Structures are given as C-alpha cells and as structure tokens.
Amino acid sequence: MNDISLSLLADGPAVILVEPQLGENIGTAARAMANFGLMDLRIVKPRDGWPSDSARRAASRADHVFDRIRLFQSVEEAVADLGYLVATTARPRDLAKPVRGPASAAPIMRGHIAAGIRPGILFGRERIGLTNEEISLADEIVTLPIDPRFASLNVAQAVLILAYEWRRSGLESEEEGLRFTTRLDSRPASKEEMLGLYEHLERALDAVTFFRPPEKKPSVVATLRAMLQRASFTEQDVRTLRGVVAALENRPTRPRQRADGSLTTSRESED
C-alpha cells in the first residue's frame, strides 16, 4: 500500500452530513466516528450555523475529529474530491443504483482506499433525508435492515453503525478489536479435580440423607455430575465450591489466630 493509501486509511471514508438540524447530532456523530477511527467529518449548511457550542459539548472530547470539521455550501462541493460515494437512505428510491448493507459496503470502501481512491458516506437531513438529486451523485446506496414499521433513524445512530462496520471490516474477527477479554487466572479443572468435587458433594449429601429413596441415588448422582460438568469449572472454581461444601458440613478450617492469640480451627465466629 502506497503513502497516499495509508493516509486515506488513517482518516477512513469521509462522512458528509447534509444540512443537519441540531448541533447535538453533529457532536454525537463526531463522537461515533472517533469511537471507530474515522476522522474526516464534513458538514453541508448546518441549520443552526457554525460554530456550535452544543455540537462541541455533544462530541464529548472527540476533539481530534471535531476540530477537523469542514463546512461546505453544497453537497457537490463537499464530495468533489471523492472517487467513490455511498448515500444512506431508509426509503426506496426509483434510482438505478446498487443497494448494499453496511457490512458489504465497508470492505468495498477499503478496496478503493487501497487503490488510492478516497471514499465517502453521505447522510441526509434528520426529517427528510437526502433528495433524489443528492443521491444521484452517489455510486451506490447503503441502507439498514431496520423494521419497516419504524424506519426513522437518528443521523448520529446511522453514522455509528456505518463507522462500526468500517472498523469491523479491517479486523480478522470481531473479537480481534476488543479492548479487553476475560482473562482466566486459573486453568480448567482436571477430571481428577472434578471427580474429587463430585465425591465430596455426594458424601455431604449422604450425611444429610439427601438421596431418598436410596435406590434413586445413582440417577440423581448422574444428574448432579452432568450439571456440574456443564459449568466448565476452573481449578479455582472447584476449590471454592469444595470450600462451600466443607462449610455446610461444618468441617474444621485451617488454623487461624483468635484475638487472644490462641489458634482455632472452628468455623464459629467469635463474640
């Protein structure tokens, strides 16, 4: 990939908001872009003018995106330097253009960037969306699989979805991009450890005559063991659960020091 492509990849596709009505929507769109690594936000004739304090507040410190916002007087000016443009809409259009979902549009935009071509995503007005004339400037239409009974989608929400799919398209798997995963501090329990847990629990249950009538004990034991096995315990889980069973048996604990300095293995609390 050449230097031009790397530069385009760093910014990602341009996001163009056409005549946004509310500063809050501009700010939350900038925040959504920052969440997923998009940098190039362009605004066409914002209704309430510019700059906008409400937009700045809604951006929630996404300054690296917000401070680069560029204003344009027409859609044509805003998209002039783009070589590939998709237009977002939730309504059917009588236009002979390919229609894609966000997940399939994102890798196509990456392919254009690899070829040194700057892509962009066009978003319409909160109330009426994009006009047919504006959509005609686009190469393809992108829409979302939303419920047709309520097709209205906030512009910043739409930006968030497209931005997510953009970032997701650059990862081998969704999990690759996660900030953190659950870290297991304990290895999976061995079969020997699980067998020790089973037998410990069964002895404790025998002591309180849980298995009644006695002839049903084998089937109940098999059910209990199957339940415990499905839990996929770690060795720490097994130790903890055996400690619980021992406490229910009121078995002695490890020696501990009383307030007077003497040692005890009793589970009873000190008054």
What pLDDT is attached to residue 185?
66
What pLDDT is attached to residue 126?
85
What pLDDT is attached to residue 229?
92
Q: What is the pTM of this model?
A: 0.67
Residue 265 · residue 258 · CB < 8 Å: no
CA pair distance 16, 46, nearest whole angstrom = 11
CA atoms 60, 77, 10, 120: torsion sign? positive
More confident position, 180 or 121: 121
Tens digits of per-residue pLDDT, 95-134?
Answer: 778 899 999 999 999 999 999 999 999 999 988 889 999 9
What pLDDT is attached to residue 11?
82
Q: Which token pair is 167?
A: 């970032």
What pLDDT is attached to residue 262?
62
Domains with residue ranges and CATH for the chain = 3-177 (3.40.1280.10), 191-264 (1.10.8)
Highest mean pLDDT among 118-122, 236-240, 254-258: 118-122
pLDDT of 1 > 90? The answer is no
More confident position, 34 or 178: 34
For the segment 231-249, the average pLDDT, to the nearest whole number, is 91
Half-sphere exposure of 197 (CA within 13 A, CB side): 26
- Backbone phi and psi for residue 57, each to the nearest 5 degrees, phi listed first: -65, -45
Confidence of residue 38 (pLDDT cuts 50, 70, 90): very high
pLDDT of 268 > 70? The answer is no
pLDDT of 173 > 70? The answer is no
Highest mean pLDDT among 9-18, 69-78, 177-186: 69-78
What percent of the chain stands above pLDDT 70? 86
What secondary structure, in 3-state letters, does the chain show?
CCHHHHHHHHHCCEEEEECCCCHHHHHHHHHHHHHCCCCCEEEECCCCCCCCHHHHHHCCCCHHHHCCCEEECCHHHHCCCCCEEEEECCCCCCCCCCEECHHHHHHHHHHHHHCCCCEEEEECECCCECCHHHHCCCCEEECCCCCCCCCCCCHHHHHHHHHHHHHHHCCCCHHHHCCCCCCCCCCECCHHHHHHHHHHHHHHHHHCCCCCCHHHHHHHHHHHHHHHHHCCCEHHHHHHHHHHHHHHCCCCCCCEECCCCCEECCCCCCC
Min mean pLDDT across 1-15, 35-49, 55-69, 74-88 is at 1-15
For the segment 42-61, the average pLDDT, to the nearest whole number, is 93
Confidence of residue 181 (pLDDT cuts 50, 70, 90): low
Supply the mean pLDDT for the chain.
87
